[in-house]
Amino acid sequence: MTPSHYGSQGQSSSSPYTIDLLGYTSYRPGVPLSFRVTGGYRGILIQARRADGSSKSPVGTFETFPENLRSIRCSNDADSVTHSNQNQKTDDVKFLWNPPSEDVGDIKIVATIASSKSEYWIGVESNGVLRMYQEVTTPKLTTPVAGTTPARRTDEGTTSVASTTTTTTTTEATTTLGKVKTTFGPG
Cβ contacts of 66-69, under 8 Å, gap ≥ 24: 66/93, 66/94, 66/95, 68/93, 69/44, 69/93
pLDDT tens readout for residues 90-148 = 877 889 999 998 888 999 999 999 988 888 999 999 978 888 776 666 666 555 555 54
User: Which of 131, 81, 93, 111 has its CA nearest to residue 18?
Assistant: 111
Domains of the chain: 18-132 (2.60.40.4060), 141-185 (no CATH)
Half-sphere exposure of 6 (CA within 13 A, CB side): 0
| Cα atoms found within 13 Å of the Cα of residue 154, Cβ hemisphere only | 8
Beta strand segments in 8-164, E: 18-20, 26-27, 33-38, 43-50, 61-63, 69-72, 80-83, 94-98, 107-114, 120-125, 131-132, 141-145, 152-154, 157-159
Lowest mean pLDDT segment, chosen from 2-16, 86-100, 156-170: 156-170
Is residue 160 predicted with pLDDT exceeding 60? no
Q: Among candidates 103, 110, 173, which has minimal Cα distance to 131? A: 103
For the residues 50-67, what does the mean pLDDT come to? 88
- Mean pLDDT: which of 65-74, 95-104, 147-156, 165-174 is highest? 95-104
How far apart are alpha carbons 151 and 132 in whole angstroms?
59
Lowest-pLDDT range of 1-15, 117-131, 166-180: 166-180
